[in-house]
Amino acid sequence: MKERLLKRFEHEVAALERELRTDLPKEIQRARELGDLRENAEYHAAKERQTYVNARIAMLKRRMNEIALMNLDRIPHGKAGFGSTVTLRESTGAEIVYQLVMPEDAEAEKGTISTSSPIGRAILNKEEGDEVVVTTPAGPRQFEIMKLVTIHDE
């Protein structure tokens, strides 16, 4: 999982760096050729994109360093943690399966939630059979952990 995430970030960084070195300079040059830069929307849009791309590259490289230093051995065995797949039964009887992932990978509709989301935080370090209560804007939700597969079990 760690390697897959690093590879995805590496691909995104490579694409952004290519855009920064190749595409954006061409766009900026074309916009400059249009004349007055004070009222040149294309120029300002390209410069804004350039600032965004630089910031995104810096953030991705910082996250890549954090992930590379992550010690998977510190993730508990038998308890919910990063990479765990958890089957929850809500008090309504509905079952939900979530995998705990990094914030960048979280897509609740696809069954992945961040370890820093309200539900993610509530189930961290819990075991099968544990009950958790999550405070949401719509009121408290109660879950029981029916099944737990940790990153070590996969």
Domain ranges of the chain: 2-70, 76-149
Question: Does position 101 have pLDDT exceeding 90, yes or no?
Answer: no
The residue among 103 and 144 whose pLDDT is bigger is 144
Whole-model pTM: value is 0.61
**What's the CATH fold of domain 2-70?**
Helix Hairpins (1.10.287)
Residue 83 backbone class (left: φ over 0; alpha: ψ -120 to 50; beta: rest): left
Task: Name the least confident of 31-40, 106-115, 141-150.
Answer: 31-40
**C-beta atoms surrounding 72 within 10 Å:** 12
pLDDT band at residue 72, thresholds of 50, 70 and 90? Answer: low
How far is C-alpha 118 from the geometric centre of its chain's CA atoms?
15
Q: Treating both helix axes as pointing N-terminal to C-terminal, what angle do 41-69 and 24-33 enclose, rounded to 10 degrees?
A: 160
Q: Is 76-149 assigned to CATH 3.10.50.30? A: yes
Give residue-wise pLDDT tens across range 116-143: 899 999 999 999 999 999 988 888 999 9
Spatial distance between the Cα atoms of 116 and 143, rounded to a whole number of angstroms: 17
